[in-house]
Amino acid sequence: MSQNVTAINGEEEVSRHRRDLLIGATAIASLSGLGAMRVARAEEHSHEHHQHTIDQGRLRVIQHATDCVNKGEICIEHCLQLFKAGDTSVAECAESAHEMLASCTAMGKLAAYDSRHLKDFMRVCIGVCEDCEKACREHENKHAECKACADSCADCISVCKEYLA
């Protein structure tokens, strides 16, 4: 008789466990459906009343800072390949490009955030870009990556000076 009681109790235990799982699964499915409805409603919402646009001057700063970062990354990777081959002649170029990456990344973000510190930081960034351009120009005839980085720095300097004027 004790075996029957255990079997009955075991079946009741399994049934209760299944019931709890079904209740939980139903609750999750319901919540998922509600979430999908909220997303659908949010997509229907028009954002035309949000007319916040970035001014063209800051947009140009962001674009040129981003271009400097992209060209600088390529220049640094090229320098690393030269280092692996034993050529350390581009060490100053790589070092200044690293500083430029940090500076232009920060400047681009400050411009995007419309930071009150943008103009002050921009003056510092111009100096960093001038150093990078000078170091990269020394190798521009031999390495296209250095030339592209130098040209990008020169363009960024020009845009920053226009913005400050």
Q: How far is it, in rounded angstroms, from Cα 81 to Cα 143?
A: 12
pLDDT at residue 54 in the model: 77
**pLDDT < 70 stretches in the chain:** 1-52
Whether residue 128 sits in one domain with residue 63: yes
Domain of residue 30, residue span: 1-52
Whether residue 95 sits in one domain with residue 39: no
Whether residue 41 sits in one domain with residue 72: no
H helix or E strand, kind and range, residue 112: helix 91-112
φ, ψ of residue 46 to 5 degrees: the values are -85, 140
pLDDT at residue 13 in the model: 52
Whether residue 66 sits in one domain with residue 120: yes
